[in-house]
Amino acid sequence: MGKLNRDDLDRLESEYQESRQERDYIRVGMSTCGIAAGAEPVYRFLCEEIRRRALDVEVRRSGCLGMCHAEPLVEVSVAGAPRSLYGEVGLDAARRILDQHVEKGLVLAGMLASQDGLLAPPEETVPRIGRQLRIVLRNCGIIDPTKIEEYIARGGYQGLKRALFELGPESVIEEMRTAGLRGRGGAGYPAWLKWKLTRDAEGAEKYMICNGDEGDPGAYMDRSVLEGDPHSVIEGMLIGALAIGASQCYFYIRAEYPLAVDRIETAIKQARRMGLVGKNILGSNFSCEMEVRLGAGAFVCGEETALIASLEGRRGTPRPRPPYPAQYGLWQMPSNINNVETLANVGPLIARGGKWFASIGTESSKGTKVFAVTGKVRHSGLVEIPMGTTIREIVMDICGGAEGGKHIKAVQTGGPSGGVIPEELFDTPVSYESLQELGSIMGSGGLIVMDEDDCMVDIAGFYLGFCVEESCGKCAPCRIGGKQVKMLLDKISARRATAKDVTELRRICHAMQKASLCGLGQTAPNPVLSTLRYFENEYEALLQ
């Protein structure tokens, strides 16, 4: 396949759609989770058996379906039987699926995965699963991430096309402004404004950077998108590069995600071959190169100035802002950094228009948010919900509530920078502001469910321990403060502390918040302060 021009895109889209419409298929979810749960032998087995039995069924691979609790996942769509999704499929189950469902058209009801057991029909660009609304995850678990054609077949790169030939940089930014998309990396800064500042900054060169560091333990939304739908991020990057005036993009992906790196690299190669990356994209006069760089195991490198230092081949230590990367970023040039999920929104947003996007979500928080729901919950996995959905809906309705008849006590959002939200407040609708009011943050989308067995002092200690290990060590308040706070929490847990120690704890936390250089140290006390706010009784019970 040679390089595409603007019109080839539509032709390809309809060609692929037609060619794939009527086929029978079996689809195996094969992102990191799936593989870890044993999807690979299942996939191999299915391929061999189909060949041996000479069935006219295509075995496809896809990325993450978002139902981590039920991996490995196998979806079956054959004529004459309803499309079904099976969970926890081992080799035995795979054989039964072939025998019963594929060959005889009998759905194995007992083996279906979770709630409705069905994925939305693939024709719908924005599928809805129950209360979920999938924009970011529109293709995850549906397309084969190693095939660019499948992305194009589902409307991929239409946003880029519109940006290039209909809008141009300024109108792209205007469209983003209308949409009100805010950064999904944690801080919720309006994406359009950052793009505009970078566009307006002077510099011989400008850079577009994708933050795929995803260091928050317990969060893996970005990994799933990178693995399951790499082109959606590439498309967002290209549109962003066009808008800010960059001709070079960097993906910064944490080294713990080898499969994501692999998928993105493959996707870039394909896109380059098709003229979507490189010189004169889609025949326009816009040219843009793209490269992948790896992290190396440092949470702080998710912070934008540390990320830049790391990209430059240095220790990932943050530096003071201002100047912000938009003025003074990679190689001292204006640079724009966006989170994976932010970027995955951009393609459909531009294709369908800012007004459409702005119609989803709440007044201040537009669009959807992906959460990785884990911990003491029945159905852990990825959910994408419109902003404004309540925590209760996410935890109780979508994810099935507590495991094993326990009582859910709280959730933690925002990871080590966030805080706990007690069960009484689960009716809060999710938005940047509402979570902040509760003393937590939206964060990147980790949502950890805790039940009655979990001790809040212990949880605070866990997060502090994380921050102590991940502190870059540059500034004293975080480097030493974190350690002292951790020691105080340990002292409390060991029942050796007094009320004076809690006062001391608060004082050091306050100094850390005010005097730490970067977000890591400034927010590291949040888990402590929020558990103190809602569960002070648990602290008191441990005091002498």
Partner 1 sequence: MADVIMVPDISRTVQKWRKKRGSLIMALHEVQNRYGYVPRNVSLQLAQLMDVPLARIYEVVTFYNYFNLEPPGRNNVAVCLGTACYLKGAPEVFDAHKKALGLEDGGTTGDGEFHLQSVRCVGCCGLAPVVVMNGQTVSKVRPEGVRDLIARCRKEA
Partner 2 sequence: MTNPNGYESLPNAIINGASGPTVSCRINGSEVELPDGTTILDAARLLRLEIPTLCKHADLDPTAACGLCIVKVEGTHKMPRACCTPVEEGMEITTHNAEIMDVRRTVVELILSKHPTDCLTCGRNQNCELQTVASDFGIRQAVMPNIAHDLDRDSSSQALTLDPARCITCGRCVHICQDIQNVHALCFLDRGYGTRIAPAGVSLGESPCVRCGQCSAHCPTGAIFEFDETRDVWEYLMTPEYHAVVQIAPSVRVAIGEAFGLAPGTNLTGKLYAVLRRLGFDAVFDTNFGADVTILEEASEFIQRFLHGRGELPLITSCCPSWVDFMEKFHGDMIDHFSTCKSPHEIVGVLTKTYYADKMGIDPSRIRCVSVMPCTAKKWEIKRHESMSASGFQDVDVSITTRELARMIKQAGISFLDLEEEECDPVLGDYTGAGTIFGVTGGVMEAALRTAADLITGETMEQLEYNTVRGLDGVKEAGVEIAGRQVRVAVAHGLGHVETVLNRIREAREAGDEPPYHFVEVMACPGGCVGGGGQPYGVTNEVRMARARGLYSDDARRTVRKSHENPHVQMLYKDFLKEPLSAKAHQLLHTRYQARLTYTR
Ligand X SMILES: Cc1cc2nc3c(=O)[nH]c(=O)nc-3n(C[C@H](O)[C@H](O)[C@H](O)COP(=O)(O)O)c2cc1C
Q: By CB under 6 A, name the binding residues for ligand FES.
A: 29, 31, 33-34, 64-68, 71, 217-218, 224, 381
Q: Is 68 in the site for partner 1 (CB under 8 A)?
A: yes
Q: Per-residue x/- marks for ligand X, 293-332, CB under 6 A? A: -------x-xxx----------------------------
- In 3D space, the residue among 72, 75, 122, 121 whose CA is nearest the CA of residue 102 turns out to be 75
Name which position in 218, 278, 323, 353 contacts partner 1 (CB under 8 A): 218
Stretch that binds partner 1, among 99-107, 254-262, 362-370, 388-396 (CB under 8 A): 254-262
Q: Kindly give the residue spans of alpha helices, DSSP state H, lying in 158-257.
A: 158-162, 168-179, 191-200, 221-228, 230-244
63 and 229 Cβ atoms separated by less than 8 Å: yes
Name which position in 248, 336, 431, 471 contacts ligand SF4 (CB under 6 A): 471
73 and 84 Cβ atoms separated by less than 8 Å: no
Q: Is 65 in the site for ligand SF4 (CB under 6 A)?
A: no
Name which position in 203, 521, 525, 527 contacts ligand SF4 (CB under 6 A): 521
Name which position in 66, 145, 186, 418 contacts ligand X (CB under 6 A): 186
Q: Per-residue x/- marks for ligand SF4, 275-314, CB under 6 A? A: -------------------------x--------------
**Between 331 and 426, whose beta carbon lies closer to partner 1?**
331
Q: Is 347 helix (H, G, I), strand (E, B) or coil?
A: helix
Name which position in 307, 410, 472, 528 contacts ligand SF4 (CB under 6 A): 472
Q: Extract long-range pairs of 289-293: CB within 8 Å, 24+ residues apart.
A: 289/247, 289/248, 289/249, 290/234, 290/237, 290/248, 290/249, 290/250, 290/251, 291/248, 291/249, 291/250, 291/251, 292/250, 292/251, 292/253, 292/261, 292/264, 292/265, 292/268, 293/250, 293/251, 293/252, 293/253
The CA R_g of the chain, rounded to the nearest whole Å, is: 24
- In 3D space, the residue among 70, 79, 82, 69 whose CA is nearest the CA of residue 111 turns out to be 70
414 and 375 Cβ atoms separated by less than 8 Å: no
- In 3D space, the residue among 339, 377, 78, 69 whose CA is nearest the CA of residue 211 turns out to be 339
Q: In the range 426-465, which residues lie near ligand X by CB under 6 A?
A: 444
Name which position in 374, 389, 471, 530 contacts partner 1 (CB under 8 A): 374
Q: In the range 196-225, which residues lie near ligand SF4 by CB under 6 A?
A: 217-218, 220
- To ligand X, the closest distance from the beta carbon of 218 in angstroms equals 12
d(CA 290, CA 249): 5
Q: Is 465 in the site for ligand SF4 (CB under 6 A)?
A: no
474 and 317 Cβ atoms separated by less than 8 Å: yes
Task: Report the half-sphere exposure of 532 (CA within 13 A, side-chain side).
Answer: 15
**Residue 43: contacted member of ligand FES, partner 1, ligand SF4, none (CB under 5 to 8 Å, by partner type):** none
Q: Point out which residues bind ligand SF4 (CB under 6 A).
A: 217-218, 220, 300, 317-318, 374, 471-475, 478-479, 516-518, 520-521
Return residues touching partner 1 (CB under 8 A).
32-33, 35-37, 68-69, 71, 214-220, 223, 255-257, 291, 293-299, 310-316, 331, 372, 374-376, 380-381, 412, 415, 446, 448, 450, 454, 462-463, 466, 469-470, 472
